[in-house]
Structures are given as structure tokens and as C-alpha cells.
Structure 1
Amino acid sequence: MDRIFDNTEKAFALKKDSELERAYFLFKMIANEPLVRIGTAVTNFALKAHLPVEGLIRATVFDHFCGGTTEDDCLQLVDRMYDYGVSAILDYSVEGKEEESQFDAAMQKKISLIEFAKNKDAISFAVLKPTALGRFALWQKVTEQGDLSDKEQQEWQRIENRIDAICQRAAACEVYLLIDGEESWMQDAADELVEKMMRRYNEEKAYIFNTVQCYRWDRMDYVKKLHEKAKTDGFKVGLKIVRGAYMEKEAERAKEKGYQNPICASKQATDENFNKVMAYIMNDLDVFSLFVGSHNEASNYLAMELMRDLGIANNDHRIWFGQLLGMSDHLTFNLAAEGYNSVKLIPFGPVKDVMPYLIRRAQENTSVAGQTTRELDLLKKEKERRGI
């Protein structure tokens, strides 16, 4: 397999010299873990104290990792990426809401983004976080099969109605919908509800995608059981596979509550699980559609090899590759240049409201071994190629 991800000219074709310099500066900062901790604390304090720092945040970390404050803000970036064959997912990345009115507003926002994507060839997907539509504690109670009060049953029905409204609109508009994975102690309820939506709206084609977090050792079993149900009952399955985002939290809770840690024992075991799940899905594209959500070069190379060995065309509509805006451009743009279906997830929203997302991005980059170093090496190589 050719080392396509080393091509920095294609990787950073979208970036002006000034944007390349900014990216290099940001990743140099992110590489310093104590600095990230201090910067996070200072930023949180400044925002809560209403100090005038939004302009600075907007000009640095926000503009690197986010598309803008509104969906219209994002359009210029969306169009520029599409010129290079990269599609977009617009993600309104406002987190932590807990009121019914806010859940209804989140539903309307998701539906409006689906309508927005319907008329834009460059936007192929919408994305949904289950706990944006209902209280986490209720998702957890349903997962734990607790007895719901009449009030809670009505609340749960509203959650299902919100998800159904969004899924119905996605299928009607022929926009793929990625439903995020979350913590294991709420995930069973989400899995069951997403399966219900797949049965309802994935009759001919997979529009509704669940997320499989492959750092959980039980996920292959989940995929196999869902596969059997789909074959028996005649519906399509969309799956986005990722490694996962809640490792420390999962381990701490398992230890505190005294149950087996749901996370694989090692990074290697997670990588192996991810690759096995990916290969299993690719071997039955009559049932499955696959979104490979990975910043790992080895897994992306393996996906390309599997497609080649199985005779799957690079642009087969049932396989997509995706990365986050501001990260791993060497994967996204080089995959697109080779004709693969390639996507960037573009977060957007008010600067203050998107800060929890941005802080998590910075923290994840410091904790993923080699991620920031690889970004810096590629940016440095491209700077040298351009002579800047």
C-alpha cells in the first residue's frame, strides 16, 4: 500500500501560509500538557468572569477547530473543502443542556441542519448526540432497567419522539445521520432506540448510523447480534466505528462501583478490536454501511487494503472515512484525492458555548500518544516545502 498519508502538499492544500503557521503554533502549545491544563483553567475563568477574551479564542483555537458560530458561517469552508473532494458534517457542538425546552430546541436545530444539508451536495451527513435530547439520568435508568414513574415514562416517550422526528427527516431528505456513542451506563438504552429507528427507516438503504466504540471489548458481540437481526428481519445497518472518548471516566466508575471495566485491557487490544469489527462489517455490505471514524493511520491503511482485497470500489457509497476539523488533514485530503468518500466533521456554535468541546479536543490531543507529534512533523514538513 502506497504511503499516501505522507503527502503534505495534498494534506494542507486548503491552508494558506498564515493558517499553516497558526496550526503549527497551536499544536506546539497542545504538545505541552501542563500548558493545556493551565490554559484550560485560565480560559474557563476568563469566560465566567466575562473578560474580553472571545476575540483571542476566536482568532486561535476556535477558528482552527470550528467552522464558525452559525451554519452560514461554515459555508465558505464547506465549499472550499468540497473543491478537493471532501464532504462536510455540520455539528452544532453545544453541550450540557438539561431542560425540556432545551431538548426541544436541540431537536429543531438538528432537523433544520438536515434541511440545510438536503440542498447542499457538499454536506452528506448530520450528527446527533442522544443526551442532547433528554436527561442523562433517564437514559441511565432505562439502560439499568429501573422502574419508571408515570412522569418518567412520559419523559422517555418525548425522547423517543424527538429522535424519531429527526430520523424521519433524515431518511426523507436522504441525509445520513450519525448517532454518537456515549458512556456505557446509558448506551444500552441508546442502542435499543437506534435499532428501532434502523428498522423503521433503513429498509432500503442505511440512513441511520449507530456508533460503535471499539475500546469496549463487548462491541463485536453487539455488532454480530445486530447483524443477525438485520438479516432475519430485513433492514440495513449503518455503523460508525471509533475507538472511544470516555476511557478514564469508564475505568473510574467501574472501579468505584465494583464491576468489570468495559474498556479493553490495552491500546493494542483496542486497535485489534477496531480492526476486527471493521473487517467484519466490510464483509457484508449487503447489510452494512460503514463510517470509519479514525485518526489512526494504520487503521485507515487497513481499511483501504480490505476494500482492495474484497473488490470494493474506492467510492462505494456504503463506506465513508471521517476525521475532525483541525486534525489529521493528511488522512482526510489524501483519502479524498484517491477517490474515497472522505468527510470532515465541522463543529460550530457560539464561542462560549463551544468551549467544552474545544477543551476536550485539546485534552485528547495531549493524551493520544504520538498524535500531536505527528501533526507537528507534517506541518513542519509542509512549511519547509513552501519555504516559510
Structure 2
Amino acid sequence: MKGIFEDTATAFALKTDSELERAYFLFKLIANEPLVKIGTAVTNFAIKAHLPVERLIRATVFDHFCGGVNEEECLVVADKMYGKGVSTILDYSVEGQEVENQLDSCYEKALKTLDFVKQNKAIPFIVFKPTGFGRFALYQKITEGEELSHEEKQEWQRVVNRYDRVCKKAHGLGVSILIDGEESWMQKAADDLVQQMMRKYNQSEPIVFNTLQTYRWDRLDYLKELHQDAKRHNYLIGIKVVRGAYMEKENDRAEEMGYPTPICDSKKATDSNFDNVATYMINNLDTFSIFAGTHNEFSSYKLMEQMKEKNIAVNDPRIWFGQLYGMSDHISFNLAKEGYNVAKYLPFGPVKDVMPYLIRRAEENTSVAGQTSRELSLLKTERKRRKI
């Protein structure tokens, strides 16, 4: 298959010269690991100390990786991307909430977001994190099979109700929901709850999508078990397949607590696991809908080749490609130009509340070999083409 990802004119068509320069500056900074660590620590301190840094953050890293502080600001970005064939996934990027009023606020925001996007073709998905709807420790306790107290049982029922009401509303509106993956020691409780929602709301179309982090070596087996359950209970499966976001934390905890790491033993093994999961789903499209969340060009090409071999239309609604806003525009916009279904994760929320997300983006770009250098290379090519 011809290499389509070198076309920087298409990749960066929406960026003004000043936005291109800002992107180049940011990725130059992110390429410096010590600087990222120092910057992260300083930023966290400044926000906790209520220092006036939000304007600076907003003008640099926030505006590059986020759509805005609210849905209305995101709509401007979404409309621009949709003009180039790239859809939007609205992502209220507030996570790790611990008290009921915060959890209710995230739940209510999801309902509000559904109302906002219901008649907007540019935004076919919304997303939420399990820890936006329930306490991490509660998921963990259920995952580890511990007995819940009476109060915790009531608390868990509130979590179930939040999932159910959001999924029910999404089902009624025909908007799909991507439910993010988190750390392995709480994930089973979330997986089981998402599976309940699929049984209930994925009878005729894939409304509810779970996330498989394929740096975990057990995910293909999990997928096959889920497939068998879908056959027994006659429902469709939506899966967002990604490589994963918590590798260092997973490995460190496994070593500290003396259990085998759930993470694949190499990058090559993770890549193979991702591709094998995607292949399994594309071989069973009667049941599966795939959202391939990847910044990896080889995995993207492989999925494109499989679609071609199986005579699957490039715009088949069961197959989507996705990347994060502010990253891998050479994949997103060039795929869209070829007619594939593509969507960008567009985070939004108050600047201080979105900082954990932004810090994770910076750390991931620093730790993933080749990601930042590839971004910089493409930005350099486009700067040269424009003669900036």
C-alpha cells in the first residue's frame, strides 16, 4: 500500500503558521525528558499554590492538546476538523474523582455533552473514564473480590446507575460512548460493568465501546471470552483498541508487590498483541465494531491492507481510526482524505482540572520511542515547505 502519511500539506492544512511554530516549539520541549520532569513538577506546584499560570498554560500546551474549557469552544475546533473529514470525540478530561458530588458532576457533564452533540454529525462519539463515575478504590475492591460493606454496596449501585443512565440516553440518541481503560488492578470491575451495558444497549447497533489496552498480554483471551458471551446473549461488541497508558506504573506495582506483571515483555510483543486483537475483530465484523486508537503508522497500514483484502469499504461504519488532538495529524488527516472514518479525541475542561491529562500526554510523548522525533520531523518538513 502506498505511503500516505508523508503528506504534510494535508496533515497540517488547518494550522496557521503561528500554530505550526507553536507545535514545533512544544515538541522540541517534550523531546527533552529532564525538562519535562522539571516542567511537570513546577506546573503542579504552581497550580496547587494558586499562582497565576493558567493563562500561560492555556496559550501553549492547553490550546495545542485541548479543544477548550467548554463544549462551545470545542465546537469551533470540531467544525474545522470536520471540514477536512475528521470527526470529533468530546472528552471531558476530568478524572480520578473521589467524592460523590464530584462524581455526580462528571456524570451530569456526560449527559449534558450528549445533549450538545445529539444533532451534530461532526461529533459521533463521547467518552468517559470509569474513575469519573466511581472511586478508584471501589473498583479495585470489587476487582480483587473483597466483600463490600453495606455503604459500599449502595455506593456501587450509584456507579451502576450513572453508567446505565448515560448509556440509555446515548442509545436513545444514537451516539456511541467510548469508555476508557485504566489500571489493571481496578479494570475487571469496569470491564464487567461495561459488558452489562453492552448486553443491554448493543442489541441493534454498537452504542457502548469498551477499551482494550494491548500492552496487557491477556487482552486477546479476554476479547475471545467477550465474543462468546456476545454470541450467547445476542449483542454487538464495540471495542476501542489501544496500546496503553500506564506501563511504568503497572510494572512498578507488580515488582513492588511481587506478582507477575500484566504488561507484555517488549514493545514488539505489544505491537503484535495490538495487531492480533485488531485482526481478530476484523475477522468477526458480524459482531465487532473497531475503534483503532493508534499513533502507529504500521498498525494503521496493516488495518488498511486487511480492509482492502476483505473488500471492506474504506468508510464501513464498523471501522474507525482515532488519534489524540494535537498529535499524529499526518495519520488522521491523510486517512480522512482517503475516505476512512477518522475521529480525534478532543479533551476539554477547566485548565487546572485537565492538567493530569496534559501531563500524561507530555510524559507519554517523552517515553514512547520515536513519537516525538517523528512529530518534529514532519513539522520541520512542513515548515520548510511553507518556508517559515
TM-score range relative to shorter protein: over 0.9
Amino acid at match of 1:93: S
TM-score (structure 1 length as normaliser): 0.99
- The residue number in structure 1 matching 2:173 is 173
1:363 aligns with 2:363: yes
In the alignment, the residues of structure 2 paired with residue 254 and residue 34 of structure 1 have an alpha-carbon distance, to the nearest angstrom, of: 26
1:158 aligns with 2:158: yes
Alignment-derived partner of residue 145 in structure 2: 145
**Separation in structure 2 between the aligned mates of residue 184 and residue 44 of structure 1, nearest angstrom:** 26
| Residues 241 and 292 in structure 2, CA contact (< 8 A), matched pair in contact too | yes
Please list, as runs of the form range in 1=range in 2, the aligned pairs for 1:158-307 lying within 5 A after superposition. Answer: 158-307=158-307
Structure 1 SS opposite 2:170: helix
Deviation at 1:335, TM superposition (A): 0.5
CA distance in 2, matches of 1:135, 1:232: 31
Q: Contact (CA 8 Å) 2:217, 2:273: kept in 1 or not?
A: yes
Q: How many residues align?
A: 388
Task: Write the distance in 2 (CA, Å) between the matches of 1:46 and 1:186.
Answer: 31
CA distance in 2, matches of 1:158, 1:50: 33
1:71-92 Cα deviation digits (max 9, x unpaired): 1011111100000000001111
Q: Aligned residue for 2:47?
A: 47
Looking at structure 1, the residues matched to 232 and 135 of structure 2 have their Cα atoms a distance apart, in angstroms, of: 33
1:225-277: per-residue Cα shift (whole Å, max 9, x none)? Answer: 11111122210000000001111111111112221110001000000000000
> Could you tell me how far apart the structure 2 residues matched to 1:71 and 1:251 are?
36
Secondary structure of residue in 1 paired with 2:5: helix
Q: Tell which deviates more after alignment, 210-219 or 348-357.
A: 348-357
Counterpart-to-counterpart distance in 2, 1:366 and 1:238: 30
SS for the counterpart of 1:6 is coil
Structure 2 CA distance for aligned equivalents of residues 309 and 350 of structure 1: 45
Give the CA RMSD over aligned residues: 0.8
1:48 to partner: Cα distance: 2.0
Equivalent residue for 1:6? Answer: 6
Shift of 1:100: 0.7
Q: Distance in 2 between matches of 1:189 and 1:39?
A: 35
For residues 149-186 of structure 1, what are the alpha-carbon distances to aligned partners after superposition, in whole Å with 9 as ceiling and x for unaligned?
Answer: 11111111111011001111111110110011111111
Alpha-carbon offset, residue 43 of structure 1: 1.4
1:82 match: 82
- 1:324, distance to aligned residue in structure 2 (A): 0.4
Q: How far is the alpha carbon of 1:290 from its aligned partner?
A: 0.4
| 2:373 is the counterpart of 1:373 | yes
- Letter of the 2:94 counterpart: V
CA distance in 2, matches of 1:300, 1:52: 42
CA distance in 2, matches of 1:256, 1:96: 22
Gap regions ≥5 residues in structure 2: none
Summarize deviations over 1:337-367 as a string: whole Å, max 9, x none. 0000000111111111111111111111000
Q: Which residue pairs with 1:36 in the alignment?
A: 36
Deviation, structure 1 residue 51? 1.9
Higher mean alpha-carbon deviation, 325-334 vs 52-61, is at 52-61
Quote the residue 1:18 is aligned against.
Answer: 18
In the alignment, which residue of structure 2 is the partner of 1:329? Answer: 329
Is 2:353 aligned against 1:353?
Answer: yes
The DSSP-based 3-state class of the residue aligned with 1:163 is helix
Whole-Å separation in 2 of the counterparts to 1:45 and 1:106? 25
State whether residues 95 and 129 of structure 2, in contact with CA within 8 Å, keep that contact through their aligned partners in structure 1.
Answer: no
Partner of 1:263, secondary structure, is coil
What's the secondary structure of 2:124's corresponding residue?
A: strand
- Equivalent residue, structure 2, for 1:132: 132
1:346 partner SS:
strand
- Kindly indicate whether residue 383 of structure 2 is the aligned counterpart of residue 387 of structure 1: no
Tell me how far apart the structure 2 counterparts of residues 34 and 40 of structure 1 sit (CA, whole Å).
10
CA distance in 2, matches of 1:161, 1:145: 21
Paired with 1:263 and 1:34, the residues of 2 have a C-alpha distance of 25
- What per-residue deviation string (whole Å, max 9, x for no partner) do you get for residues 106-142 of structure 1? 1110011111111111001010101111111110111
User: After the TM superposition, which of the residue ranges 300-309 and 41-50 deviates more from structure 2?
Assistant: 41-50
Query: 2: distance between equivalents of 1:276 and 1:297?
Result: 16
**Which residues of 2 match residues 38-117 of structure 1 at below 5 A?**
38-117=38-117
- Is the 8 Å Cα contact of residues 94 and 106 (structure 2) preserved in structure 1? no
Q: By how many angstroms is 1:102 displaced?
A: 1.1
State the SS of the aligned residue for 2:181. Answer: coil
Instruction: Tell me how far 1:96 sits from its aligned partner.
Output: 2.6
Identity of aligned residues (%): 64
Q: Aligned partners of 1:141, 1:43: CA distance in 2, in Å?
A: 32
| Counterpart amino acid of residue 366 in structure 1 | T
- Give the conservation status (yes or no) of the 8 Å contact 2:87–2:122: yes
Q: Distance in 2 between matches of 1:254 and 1:46?
A: 32
CA distance in 2: counterparts of 1:308 and 1:320, whole angstroms: 15
**Could you report, residue by residue, the CA deviation over 1:276-316 in whole angstroms, capped at 9, with x for unpaired residues?**
00000001111000000000110001110011111110000
Question: Aligned AA for 1:80?
Answer: K
Cα displacement (A) at 1:377 = 0.3
